[in-house]
Structure 1
């Protein structure tokens, strides 16, 4: 605990312009500050001087650059919390490290966009959008800079079409017109959003989803063909247990190296 007296230098009353004040005591506040060891938190006990105008009776209290008015968490601690929220860490570990409560971390996380307001005059030229499963199994919308940087542009609490459209409507039409490509999966309403919000952008289907769709179709055909044979036959065992080889590129198949296949009970190569 560190104690300090913060004095006020008020020459004139902000309300009546009178230049005479009387001392009105101190307001004591305890401010959470940065610490190198989470087990030994650092607090600042600030004795803030108060004055009262002799003419109009209005009171004044000193402010400090260390902490915002009506707040007990220092600006440096808040900045540290906001930087940690960008990392892959739990809210509890951030709270312990910063010497604050978990509810404070939740409040800062909820107000993240208010503290760091997005630039509504900028959108990536190459935009990619998708959804991911968050806490409690709920699906969230995410859009990123698809130009190799993969920097997160925005995360929305849901993936509803109206919510996504309302978000992109915040950007002027001229900004949205500069987007050249929008990369999406096979979700149809993402393509509808891209056509509506980005009139000059080309829609690109993510190749991962195309390959995944082809792989699923191939495996379904393999299983259907496999079921036509007896379970003890060589054809059935070949189709069932060697499925990894069917998904490999021909260039990665080894024609010389032999191995013993325990399912077919003989020496084989790829």
Structure 2
């Protein structure tokens, strides 16, 4: 039974069982303990104290460990102390590995269901989550060099956002900020310490002014770069707006011409926005219909494709900068908003060609956060959500010593 239990240094002395429960009386193999005050090893047993601890189930039966957490007397301090057990925390009624198993369920589900499925209360489940979170939070940011900043909506359509901070080298979430105000973001980042903030070399973001000025203030050695995928997004949005406008303009045409334009533009959104090289044969035929029906949309589509390629093909900062300047001149009559935005952020945009950092990883993390929010049936407590999110990326393979 000791081998079956598989807790290093723990011996099973006795077993009692029912149809649903297995109770194992266990003892620690070593005969000594270290004093928490002076670290002196003590052999002097002072008291035996038994308590029950929940462990991983065996088959369909729950497992309860009857643990003797001994008290020793330090020969140096002359004071009693309880021994530290490797498999269970002080004053905890569950083993580390059981807490780990339950926490892993919480990450991919909601607390109520996990509690129900394991015969626990919601409070007991959260106790396990918090106990495990203390082992990995705060997140170690000592090696942070390239930071990604983005935001996601808490409640769709209500204007409530949280800010997402990501290590773009390790592709892991570093933290969440409850709002996108400068003061809140600065508060979280300042907790990393001056040493970490000064070693950050690059911060990749979308074109939100608050983030840029804040980064320049507290990360003085960092280069701010704009993520190319956010640039592509604003170009695509303007192209789609033009597509919609062309349908409205067609209202003034003759019935025959109007029908032709409507037929061509109907259902064309994703055909226009998708990279042309990835289109199916049917989608390419649809694209040709759109171009024939609307010369303006045709030109804008070609410019959109050129915009994508200049980021894909430019090998140096100089080449990328020159190609982007050329594109801005050609695109300005058609992409007025996008061109104006890119010009305002020009130094940060061309910075991409130097390091080629992308915030695409952050977008992937945002999608997982949204899935996590749905699994938890909404967003009710920011702190609890942050714990679950951080554990999702930093959940260790084994915390049970």
SS state of the match for residue 233, structure 2? helix
1:102 maps to 2:122:
yes
Instruction: Tell me, in whole angstroms, the C-alpha distance in 2 between the residues paired with 1:110 and 1:63.
Output: 20
SS state of the match for residue 165, structure 2? strand
Partner of 1:78: 99
Q: Structure 1 or 2: larger helix share?
A: 2
1:151 maps to 2:172:
yes
- TM-score, with structure 2 as normaliser: 0.49
1:130 maps to 2:156:
no
Shift of the 157–33 alpha-carbon distance from structure 1 to 2, 3 Å rule, reads farther
Count of matched residue positions in the alignment of Structure 1 and Structure 2: 244
- Out of 216, 227, 232, which is 1:206 matched to? 227
Q: C-alpha root-mean-square deviation of aligned residues, in Å?
A: 4.2
Contact 1:8–1:49 (CA<8 Å) still a contact in 2? no
Instruction: Tell me, in whole angstroms, the C-alpha distance in 1 between the residues paired with 2:224 and 2:45.
Output: 69
Q: Structure 1 or 2: larger strand share?
A: 1
Partner of 1:35: 57
Instruction: Tell me, in whole angstroms, the C-alpha distance in 2 between the residues paired with 1:215 and 1:8.
Output: 70
Shift of the 27–245 alpha-carbon distance from structure 1 to 2, 3 Å rule, reads closer
Contact 2:165–2:176 (CA<8 Å) still a contact in 1? yes
SS state of the match for residue 66, structure 1? coil
1:3 maps to 2:25:
yes
For structure 1, list consecutive stretches of 5 or more residues without a partner in the other structure. 15-20, 260-270
Shift of the 188–244 alpha-carbon distance from structure 1 to 2, 3 Å rule, reads same
Shift of the 157–244 alpha-carbon distance from structure 1 to 2, 3 Å rule, reads closer
Shift of the 45–101 alpha-carbon distance from structure 1 to 2, 3 Å rule, reads same
1:220 maps to 2:241:
yes
Decide which structure has the larger Cα Rg and report it.
Answer: 1
Once the two structures are superposed, the pairs formed by residues 1-270 of structure 1 within 5 Å of their partners are 1-4=23-26, 26-37=48-59, 39-48=60-69, 61=82, 63-81=84-102, 84=104, 88-92=108-112, 95=115, 100-109=120-129, 114-116=134-136, 117-119=138-140, 121-123=142-144, 125-133=145-153, 139-147=161-169, 149-230=170-251, 232=255, 233=258, 234-249=260-275, 251=277, 252=279
